[in-house]
Structure 1
Amino acid sequence: MIENQPRLWTKNFISVSVSNFFLFMTFYFLLVTMPVYVLNELKGKESEAGLATTVFLLSAIIIRPIAGRWIEKFGARSILLSALVLFSLVTLLYLYADSILVLMVIRFIHGIGFGMATTATGSIVAAIIPDSRRGEGMGYFVLSSNLAMVVGPFLGLTIMQQLGVSTMLFIGVISATIGLVAGLFITLPKRDMATVKNNRIKGSFRFKELFEISAIPIAVTGAFFAIVYSSILSFVSVYAVEIGAGNVASYFFVVYAVVLLISRPFTGKWFDLYGANSIAYPAIILFAIGMVILGIADSPTLFLVAAAFAGLGWGTLFPSFQTIAITVAHPKRRPVATATFLSIYDIGIGLGSFLVGLAAANLSIGTLYLFSSVYILIGLVIYHLLQGRYLKKDKNHKEQYLDI
């Protein structure tokens, strides 16, 4: 049976995954170093250091729905290559930023390139993965960004500390350029020009055309869980120091990624064989368990055990949710579905960072993580009400998505 499965690891799939890895590695590379750059090199304020991230994410969120429509009109490969060129060129401009204002302009434009590129890679991978291996394929694709989340911050901080800011920024340019080169190896069938022309006539930029309605329920669900994930991104290193695990703080996401790497061959196939609910419900519970362990952690060992559960839980949920988003949409609307999912998800991350910051001012981080486990279980109910109950299996175990 396995021998008759359609190929997953094609040249296109490998190329788009490699491009996605270096795209996200550059993003995380700069995400962790930019606050230090603003404070130490440009002599900015703490609020300006935070604004550098906010401006980037804001422009990415704004451009994604529009990028989804552009992909429908002009093709995913064209938009991806344009975005990667923009992303690479703007990465080079960081070397010439000499004021906070110039940096903010660069961050805004950089976010546009990132938003366009991530929408395009998601659309391409949704198109080239065989339907029978969609869960498995999306899992491996998202793993490329998960690995970048580990490698990027580690390299960024290490290079900046050891070799200086200029070298760090230059290596960021190299990373972005490798992503562009990998994108050049993606070869998709040329779109029929009559279809493109027809789309241009029909495809006005009305507001409702910028969002895929069918993807909104799962996108909102993902954003709900993203609020908890943002608390991990924002405070886990600070929390590690508080509980005496500061010496292993940098290994949290390493364990997270290793668990994902080990589990991905199984979870993706189970998604394809038994459906989204068979993966989503257990993953939500594992995520909640991970936050309980994190909240009560009083040693480096428990801290890393929590990382394993969080990785298996949230690390499995995110690609599953993105797979649902593209599956419920009509094939022609999958680029917009991808943009809809990622835009709403990023709003959840941004909102979460703000809300978690407010909560952390009144609660200990450990208590916040414990409360997060209850919040996640509420999310299980939300998933069931918005998406899970609309999924069913036919007699051949193929998942059907009912109208919501």
Structure 2
Amino acid sequence: MTATTKNALFTRDYFLAFTVLLGAYIVFVALMTFMALYAADRFQANDTAAGFAASSFVVGAGLVRLVIGKYLDFIGRKRTLIISLIVFTVSSLIYPLVDHYSLMIVLRIIQGTAFGIISTAITSVVIDVIPTSRRSEGLGYYSLAATLGMAIGPFAAVQISEVASDVWVFNFTALCAAISLLAVLPMRIQEHPPSPEDHAQRWRIRGSDLIDSKVLPVAIVAFLSAIGYALVTTYLPPFLVGRGMTNAASLFFIIFALTMLGVRLFAGRIHDRRGENAVIPIALLAFALSLALLAVTDSLWQVIVAAILGGIGQGGAVPSLQAVGISRTTHERVPIATSTHYLALDAGIAVGPVALGFMIGLSGYAGLYLAGAAVLLVSIVVYWLTHGRQAVRSVTAPQHES
């Protein structure tokens, strides 16, 4: 095998993994967008219950991430993906048959659990596919699948629900899940059989089996950045509507997604060539400026600039933080490192609106977004103290192609 072959990034299995993640994220975000309205219409659920119909999915995903990192290689990576994608697909087909709210919540948690397994497992798989020298670049391109899913999912759910019955929304998500399943079948997945020592301790659960302590410092940074992202996705629409800028919210999310897409095309390459300090602090600062600008915005151009800054922040920081986390651990603990990263993101998205939502009552949405900007500034300090100052040489030392 030549050096060029070893350094090849865009391989068949890489594109198949990209397809798996794209399909999974389309299902995740499409149903997150659709389920609150569906629960209100189908079960006459109040606002709180309808909201939980959407967010209960994340409960399942978050809980399973605590254990899947330890047991992924015991079950087998390909077997795990096939089983969880079957559950993921069938769940979408069952929704129209469910006639009670509580049963729908159970189904949402089951499907969320499958999603948590799929996203962790396929990311662990793709890390084996990406050349080490191009890891951040490869993860940046790979994460475009999630970005595209976040753009396609809500649009598809809204459009289908407007022109067809609710059943067709579920049929669409089942089709996307099935495509992900079909993409896994021909994949050549490198398995990592546990050692005899690991096998002997397979039922022993320790803290290190759930969370990788070496990854935790940068996972905390990811957690803080996810709080900022959650404040945008949760509160921006009512904030802008209250300021008489109803259409600006849709424009914000379109520009935000497009900017993330663009940034992830080159941020990973900068990370690999110039080091993480050339990407992460700048990205986090851009996101902090985005939230600060939203706090004082009263015109469309400010919303557009805030969307661009936010897209730079989220698009640059998240895959780079994931690459840094993986580089801090050992090869056999990559699944646990991956689940630690995703768990931090899930926790930030879940905690952010609850932890800072009280600011709306105290100082309005302006106070909320200023508080969010402060959280992002804290994340820069945490990053620098826990990792960045040790990575200074990665920025200044010349990087050589293999």
TM tier relative to shorter chain: over 0.9
Q: Deviations over 1:126-181 (max 9, x none)?
A: 22111111111111111210121111112112221232312212212112111212
SS at match of 1:213: coil
**Contact map agreement 1:73 1:199 (CA 8 A) in 2:** no
3-state DSSP class of the match of 2:362?
coil
Structure-1 residue corresponding to 2:200: 201
In structure 2, give the amino acid aligned to 1:206.
I
Counterparts in 2 of 1:356 and 1:151: CA distance versus 1, 3 Å:
farther
| Preserved CA contact (<8 Å) 2:9 2:138 | yes
Q: Which residue of 2 aligns with 1:402?
A: none
Give the distance between the partners of 2:56 and 2:206, measured in 1 at CA: 23
CA deviations over 1:248-307 (Å, ceiling 9, x no partner): 422322212222232223211110011111111111111112122222222222212211
Q: Which residue of 2 aligns with 1:161?
A: 162
Deviation at 1:91, TM superposition (A): 1.5
Q: Does residue 38 of structure 1 match 2:54? A: no
Name 1:359's counterpart in structure 2.
359
AA at the equivalent of 2:279 = I
Q: 2:292 is aligned with what amino acid?
A: V
Q: Name the CA shift for 1:191/1:288 in 2 (closer, same or farther; >3 Å).
A: closer
Q: Which residue of 2 aligns with 1:302?
A: 302
Task: State the one-letter code of the partner of 2:141.
Answer: Y
- Judged with a 3 Å threshold, the aligned counterparts in structure 2 of structure 1 residues 168 and 265 are, in CA distance, closer, same or farther, namely closer
2:151 maps to what in 1?
150
Taking the TM superposition and a 5 Å limit, the aligned residue runs for 1:205-244 are 205-208=204-207, 209-244=209-244
1:322-380 Cα distance to aligned partner (Å, 9 max, x none): 11111111000000110111112211211112123322233322332233223321221
Q: Which moved more, 1:239-248 or 1:327-336?
A: 239-248
Within-5 A mapping of 1:275-294: 275-294=275-294
Matches of 2:170 and 2:363 in 1, distance apart?
37
* CA pair 397-328 structure 1, distance change in 2 beyond 3 A: farther
Which ranges in structure 2 are unaligned for 5 or more consecutive residues? Answer: none
In the TM superposition, residue 398 of structure 1 has moved relative to its aligned partner by: 5.9
Q: Is the 8 A contact 1:260 1:312 kept in 2?
A: yes
2:125–2:190 contact (8 Å) kept in structure 1: no
The answer to whether residue 184 in structure 2 is matched with residue 177 in structure 1 is no
Change (3 A) 1:9 1:281: same
State the distance in 2 between where 1:190 and 1:345 align.
26
C-alpha spacing 1:241/1:174, structure 2 compared with 1 (3 Å): same
| Aligned-partner Cα distance in 2 for 1:105–1:272 | 42
Judge which range, 121-130 or 297-306, deviates more: 297-306
Equivalent-residue separation in structure 2 for 1:85 and 1:182 (angstroms) = 12
- Mapping of 1:4-403 within 5 angstroms? 6-191=7-192, 199-208=198-207, 209-393=209-393, 397=398
- Asked whether the 8 Å contact 1:243–1:299 carries over to 2, the reply is no
The structural deviation recorded for 1:202 is 4.0
Q: 1:262 to 1:57 in 2, by over 3 A?
A: closer
Tell me the distance in 2 between the aligned counterparts of 1:79 and 1:11. Answer: 20
> How many Å separate the matches in 1 of 2:49 and 2:275?
45
- The number of aligned residues is 396
Q: Spell out, residue by residue over 1:97-130, the C-alpha distance to the aligned partner (whole angstroms, 9 max, x if none).
A: 1111110110111111011111102211222111
Distance 2:279 2:218 in 1: 14
Q: CA deviation at 1:4?
A: 8.2
Mean Cα deviation higher: 315-324 or 70-79: 70-79
> How far 1:308 moved relative to its partner?
0.8
TM-score of the superposition, structure 2-length normalised? 0.92
The Cα RMSD (Å) is 2.2
| Structure 1 counterpart of 2:78, one-letter code | R
Amino acid at match of 2:94: L
Q: Is the 8 A contact 1:56 1:110 kept in 2?
A: yes
Instruction: Using the aligned pairs only, state the percent identity.
Output: 27
| Separation in 2, partners of 1:390, 1:325 | 14
Could you tell me how far 1:5 is from its partner in structure 2?
A: 7.7
Give the unaligned 5+ runs of structure 1. 400-404
CA contact (8 A) 1:72 1:333 kept: no
Code of the residue aligned with 2:245 in structure 1: it is A
User: Which secondary structure does the structure 2 equivalent of 1:98 belong to?
Assistant: coil
CA shift, 1:239, in A, is 2.2
Instruction: Determine the C-alpha separation between the residues in 1 that align with 2:195 and 2:381.
Output: 42
Cα distance, 1:246–1:3 mapped onto 2, change above 3 Å: farther
SS in 2 for 1:26: helix
Conserved? CA contact 1:276–1:320, under 8 Å: yes
Q: Which amino acid aligns with 1:37?
A: Y
Could you state the TM-score of these two structures normalised by the residue count of structure 1? 0.92
Preserved CA contact (<8 Å) 1:221 1:386 = no
Going from structure 1 to structure 2, the CA distance change for 1:320 and 1:237 (only over 3 Å counts) comes to: same
Deviations 1:41-77 (CA, angstroms, capped at 9, x unpaired)? 1111222112223432122111113111122323322
CA distance in 2, matches of 1:4, 1:10: 10
> Within 2, Cα distance between the matches of 1:264 and 1:343?
21
